[in-house]
Amino acid sequence: MTVPIVITVNGERRSVDVAGSESLLHTLRNDLGLPGTKDACEQGECGSCTVIFDGAAVCSCLVMAADADGATVTTVEGIGEGAQLHPLQEVMLAEGAVQCGFCTPGFIVTGVHLLETNSHPTEPEIREALSGNICRCTGYGAILRAFTALTSEGA
């Protein structure tokens, strides 16, 4: 016997049997073929596994997969329209806000969630929204420039 769950991931209904107390992060990466969500600290410290879960940006490593049944999840693979990058992804490339790239999916998902809830965030609001994401290359200056460039464009 296993716990079968059904979740809507990036607009697609997916069925998967979860193993014991494993996290949604493992289910996404290992069973649903979505390795864009990164696995780093597994204690909610670094934000690299951030997904949008029922409308909230959360650490997927802290969601028990068995408990995710019925949820709607957006991962970095679901950001943008097909091959068309999201404006935030474009501006991060343009500003050189990607160094090793490992933290990037987490920053993108967190940032897209921020822009969905607040289309013109102030710099303090951007800093606060990104406070749960760590860039170990310390590329925060470029990341912040990308966000402010994007949010001031349409302002």
Q: Which residues bind another protein (CB under 8 A)?
A: 1-6, 13-23, 27, 30-33, 42-45, 47, 50, 56-59, 61-64, 66-67, 69-70, 110, 128-129, 131-133
Q: Are 95 and 149 in contact (CB under 8 A)?
A: yes
Give the nearer residue to another protein in terms of CB position, either 4 or 101. 4
- C-beta of 149: minimal distance to another protein in Å? 22
- C-beta of 27: minimal distance to another protein in Å? 8
Q: In what order do the strands lie in the sheet with 12-18?
A: 12-18, 3-9, 72-74, 50-53, 56-59
- C-beta of 89: minimal distance to another protein in Å? 20
- C-beta of 2: minimal distance to another protein in Å? 6
Q: How far apart are CA 8 and CA 6, in angstroms?
A: 7
Give the nearer residue to another protein in terms of CB position, either 89 or 133. 133
Give the nearer residue to another protein in terms of CB position, either 87 or 132. 132
- List the one residue out of 88, 58, 82 whose CA is nearest residue 72: 58
Query: What b/e string do you get for 36-74 counting C-beta neighbours within 10 Å, with b at 16 or more?
Result: bbbbbeeeeebbbbbbbbeeebbbbbebebbebeebebb
Give the nearer residue to another protein in terms of CB position, either 69 or 123. 69
